[in-house]
Amino acid sequence: MSARLEGRVALVTGAGRGLGRALALGLAWEGADVVVHYHRSVAGAEAVASEIIGLGRRAMTVQADITRLDEVERMALSAFERLGRVDVLVNNVGDAAPEQQSWRALDEGLIDRVLLTDVKGTLLVTHAVGRRMLEQRSGAIVNVCSNVVVTGSPRAPQYAASKYGVIGLTKSYAAAFAPTVRVNALGPGFIETETTLAREDWVYDGGFSMLGA
């Protein structure tokens, strides 16, 4: 294990499974104590926290619906009170509308759900945790975006729009919080998570490939 983040505290949203789980464990391997956020994946979050403790780091789980300001504020307050500080925030939670297979399948509910989670949720968590980082006079925020900001999403256009929104939030808070808190975005491609593997358009043809973004 590395000790690059020894003495630091990280908060990862959606850390009970998938990419969030990998990020939380990766931060722990680098020496950080970790706040493991979840919405519904309580068993997964508790398992991740146990793994982190097994690595000799501190860990806590916290439940919150990131689209509700009161719950986000409660999450941030709990993290800062129990672990003393938060040095790294990873806004990992996102909704790609995996059940939508074509732009033709227009569904207002799916449009609203994706924009609510990706844009409003990221904004609320960045705001609540970031202003506390300003008070402690240090911190770094990473917003998980997507390569759809380059490729677009013919499958679910609202997903690409939401991630463009995350880029806008990242630039805005980077300017607002500078130079005390750094705010950056990470734009990965497809990752082999439980959600991705469950999609109808994820097929095996001698190697995994994705049909539609």
Active site residues: 159
Q: Estimate the crossing angle of helix 157-177 against helix 122-136, to 10 degrees.
A: 20
Residue 169, sorted as left (phi over 0), alpha (psi -120 to 50) or beta, turns out to be alpha
Backbone angles phi, psi at 8, to 5 degrees: -100, 160
Give the CA angle between residues 192, 44, 196 to the nearest 5°: 20
